[in-house]
Amino acid sequence: MAASNTWAAYARSVSVAENPQQPGHLTVVTPKEALQRARPLPSDEDMAVEGLTGEEWDAFEQALADR
């Protein structure tokens, strides 16, 4: 098997998770372990950003787009 095919097969068989013991570092885990580590997303209410002016919201969206 060619090296690029081997890498593609490997990449499909693993996931990446944040390593809390080393902030800024990632840990490679199997898809099964990634599912076991998964947490539900916060509710829409918890994710809502309230009290922003139109200008503040535009700045927020621009900051996200610039990432």
What 3-state DSSP class applies to 46? helix
Compute φ and ψ for 2, nearest 5 degrees.
-65, 155
Mean pLDDT, consecutive 10-residue segments, the chain of 67 residues?
A: 53 59 74 87 88 92 90
Q: Are 15 and 28 in contact (CB under 8 A)?
A: yes
Give the pLDDT confidence score for residue 58 in this predicted structure. 93
**Confidence (pTM):** 0.35
Give the pLDDT confidence score for residue 33 in this predicted structure. 87
Give the pLDDT confidence score for residue 25 in this predicted structure. 72
CA–CA separation, 39 and 26 (whole Å): 17
**Which residue ranges make up each domain of the chain?**
3-66
Q: Are 37 and 17 in contact (CB under 8 A)?
A: yes
